[in-house]
Amino acid sequence: MLFIIWFLSFAALPPYVFNIIVGKRFRDARKILDKLPAIIKYASYILPISDDMELSVKWRYASGKPYTEMIYTTREQHRAGGVTWTEGAWVESANKNGVRYPDYHRLDFGFNSRFNFETWNLVVNLSFQNVYNRANIANYQYNSDGTIDNVYQFSVMPILGLDIEF
């Protein structure tokens, strides 16, 4: 009985978002690598490692976004492709935005390397979003045959970018 009361009160809470961001800036990384043995020194030139680098990790957690539940009814039918009739139709329930999608969370890694010149800077950005490849639901696809399919957000997504600062 106590558990049911707590669960109902928890479900009535407003949406929430929780982020943890941790970053570390490294200075003189290239100078340190240049002092290492030749095999490591020259192999490190493949990577965009500069004297001014940043590594970051971000984890985010959010309650699911609200949506209006759809109900499949056979009382209504529609033309499918202008040729045949469907077996039923999806209609909105009276409970507007009364249900939520499942909770959302993901882990992102980021790497920035800044090359400083006399009058301009070049910044190389490399990041990986949703590193642990969680299947976060973006929305639902309501099919004409009465089934529901999950539509997922992107899985692991690498991002590479260059910024030029004047």
pLDDT in tens, 22-46: 999 989 888 888 888 888 888 888 8
Q: How confident is the model at residue 1 (pLDDT cuts 50, 70, 90)?
A: very low
Pairing relationship of beta strands 137-142 and 17-27 according to DSSP bridges: unpaired
> What is the H or E stretch that residue 76 is in?
none
What pLDDT is stored for residue 13 in this prediction?
A: 53
Asked if residues 49 and 30 have their Cβ atoms less than 8 Å apart, the reply is yes
pTM (2 d.p.) = 0.72
For residue range 124-157, what is the model confidence (pLDDT) as tens digits?
Answer: 999 999 999 999 999 999 987 889 999 999 999 9
In Å, how far are 10, 23, 50, 86 from 39, measured between CA atoms?
57, 29, 18, 67
For residue range 83-92, what is the model confidence (pLDDT) as tens digits?
Answer: 777 677 788 8
Distance, in Å, from the CA atom of 36 to the CA atom of 45, rounded to the nearest integer, reads 13
Asked if residues 161 and 125 have their Cβ atoms less than 8 Å apart, the reply is yes
Q: pLDDT at residue 3 above 50?
A: no
Q: pLDDT at residue 4 above 60?
A: no
| Residue type present at position 51 | D
Domain residues of the chain, as ranges?
16-65+101-142+149-166, 67-99
Mean pLDDT in the chain?
A: 85
What pLDDT is stored for residue 9 in this prediction?
A: 42
What pLDDT is stored for residue 81 in this prediction?
A: 67
Long-range Cβ contact pairs of 31-38 (< 8 A, separation 24 or more)? none
- pLDDT, mean of residues 36-60: 88
Determine the Cα angle at 125 with ends 124 and 127, to 5°: 150
For residue range 5-14, what is the model confidence (pLDDT) as tens digits?
Answer: 444 444 455 6
Determine the Cα angle at 156 with ends 148 and 125, to 5°: 140
Distance, in Å, from the CA atom of 33 to the CA atom of 26, rounded to the nearest integer, reads 12
